[in-house]
Structure 1
Amino acid sequence: MTEQRITLKIENNIAIVNLNRADKHNAIDMAMFHALDKVSKKLSKNKAIRAVFLSGNGEDFCSGLDVKSVLKAKSNILQLLFKFIPGNSNLAQRVSTNWRKIPVPVVAIIQGRCWGGGLQIALGADFRITTPDASLSIMEAKWGLIPDMGANLALRELVNIDIAKHLAMTGEIINAQQALKYGLITQVSNDPYQAALRLIEPVIERSPDSVAAVKKLYNNNWHKKSWHMLAKESLYQIKVILGKNQQRAVKKQLSPEHAKDFDNRQNW
């Protein structure tokens, strides 16, 4: 599948999504907002994929919002910010939050600049691997704005509140090693694509239902009260046990020579 702003290919059950605007450093215009929203929703319904790799073509992952393009029409702002229910994600937020809803590990593979909206997109992934020369910034402060593309959900999970405040208040550009120290990224690698493959290889060997359940359990309940987390883990465990893949996982451990491949995952 190819769209003007996004390319998608699936290899060995890994969906590879590329931001495809290299001549503009993958800056996000309205077409890219809509393309990201569309492709992430499509992937969330694909029960056969086992992982998603999210990357950007060219020298930069994403340099941020294409301000000139987006602000040329007031209707664009309405499209981005409008929502029927305040607690739901609008279009601007879905380019980050949609990745959190896909029931497989999502890995952002980052090179060059990952600024503003680019970092908001990457923070929606489960893991982030950068090249040594990558730079990251919550850059909205430079435009007199607050970060409002949904990545605050991930930011509160990853870094201490004082670090989050400093980055969001200043728009400071940090390097990969600083980002690793803060907890914004998972690892630094000279070959982030191969590092991503090594990261998800042992995950793919597990039941797609247990992987999906863990992602949903942690993303949706990490900061909720203890009783809520306990209730959800019991509920999800029952659903996992009732599925065929849990039985096949046991078989793979006890009698691997007779074990069948996992089925596509359940609805999560």
Structure 2
Amino acid sequence: MGFDTLDVTVDEGVATVRLANDPVNAISQEMRYELSEAVDVLQEDRVRVGIFTGTPDVFSVGADISLFEEAQDWTTAAFRKNSKVLGQVFESIETIEKPMLAAIEGTCVGGGLELALACDVRLVSPAATLGFPEHNIGLIPGLGGCSRFVHLVGPGKAKDLIFSGRLIDGEEAEEIGLAERVVDDPDEAASEYAESLLSKPPQALGLAKRTVNTARDADLQTAGFVESLAQSTLIETADHKEGLEAFREDRDPEFTGE
């Protein structure tokens, strides 16, 4: 599968999706469809962990401004249909039962930040620049910048940053809950993080992700029910039995995903 705006590689269970649309990794129409194809790669059984990254100078500036100029001639229905392509990409990243990491250096704004929000863990350079400047063209962050952002930073901070369009660095992103880790080299840190996850039981990681997402979006009773169902599934897996045996034998477990 060939890509023009992305560099997609799979190495020993880790899939890396590098945004490669020079010069600023704008999410063009072509990249939207290629991201959809990249998600197909992430869904493959050989992939255990996914990483989204950019370049040292820019993760992504978000949508190509020419797209909004083109959209002036669209109907509202046509705009929603077009937006659905990228929206489904973000939803797939958020719901796939595998850890998805975002390694962020440089500029990460607008749709680029919305891509990062769809990931599970964001590893950010202290000097990164993050935010939502959509108000400059009379819009709002429309593909998770409002709906996902609020879950991470709370309604007050979300509204403050969206209203003002203020850009923040990696240190402040961690302070408000937008970044999970601030690291000097996000690419290296993400690779090390991903490698550490390869030794973990895949089903347990996947169901933990699904359960936490449910707890975020549902009432406590529903979340607890899903949590119980996930545990009752995992207790019957070969990996659970392997974990018990490894504990008794004082050795490292060898999980297979079964």
- After TM superposition, is the score higher than 0.5? yes
Residue 93 of structure 2 aligns to a residue in which SS?
helix
Deviation at 1:77, TM superposition (A): 7.3
**TM-score normalised to structure 1 length:** 0.86
**TM-score normalised to structure 2 length:** 0.90
Counterpart position of 2:151: 157
Distance 1:3 1:245 in 2: 36
Distance 2:54 2:138 in 1: 26
Residue 7 of structure 1 aligns to a residue in which SS?
strand
Counterpart position of 1:46: 44
Distance 1:52 1:258 in 2: 24
Counterpart position of 2:8: 8
Distance 2:28 2:165 in 1: 21
Structure 2 CA distance for partners of 1:174 and 1:98, relative to 1, 3 Å: same
**Map of 1:1-268 to 2, 5 A cutoff?**
1-23=1-23, 25-43=24-42, 45-57=43-55, 59-72=57-70, 74=73, 81-82=80-81, 90-255=84-249, 261-264=254-257
Residue 172 of structure 1 aligns to a residue in which SS?
coil
The question of whether the paired residues in 2 share the 8 Å contact of 1:22 and 1:57 is answered with no
RMSD of aligned C-alpha atoms? 2.4
Residue 15 of structure 2 aligns to a residue in which SS?
strand
Question: Which residue identity is paired with 1:16?
Answer: T
The question of whether the paired residues in 1 share the 8 Å contact of 2:93 and 2:119 is answered with yes
| Ranges in structure 1 where 5+ consecutive residues have no aligned partner | 84-88
Q: C-alpha deviations, 1:172-221, integer Å up to 9, x for none?
A: 11111121111111122111122223434443322111100000011123
The question of whether the paired residues in 1 share the 8 Å contact of 2:98 and 2:205 is answered with yes
The question of whether the paired residues in 2 share the 8 Å contact of 1:48 and 1:264 is answered with no
Aligned residues with identical type, % of pairs = 26
**For this pair of structures, how many residues does the alignment match?**
257
Distance 1:256 1:14 in 2: 28
Deviation at 1:75, TM superposition (A): 5.1
Distance 1:192 1:214 in 2: 24
Residue 143 of structure 2 aligns to a residue in which SS?
coil
Q: C-alpha deviations, 1:55-83, integer Å up to 9, x for none?
A: 01362110121111453254597555229
| Ranges in structure 2 where 5+ consecutive residues have no aligned partner | none
Distance 2:44 2:91 in 1: 17
Residue 17 of structure 1 aligns to a residue in which SS?
strand
Question: Which residue identity is paired with 1:148?
Answer: G
Structure 2 CA distance for partners of 1:79 and 1:203, relative to 1, 3 Å: farther
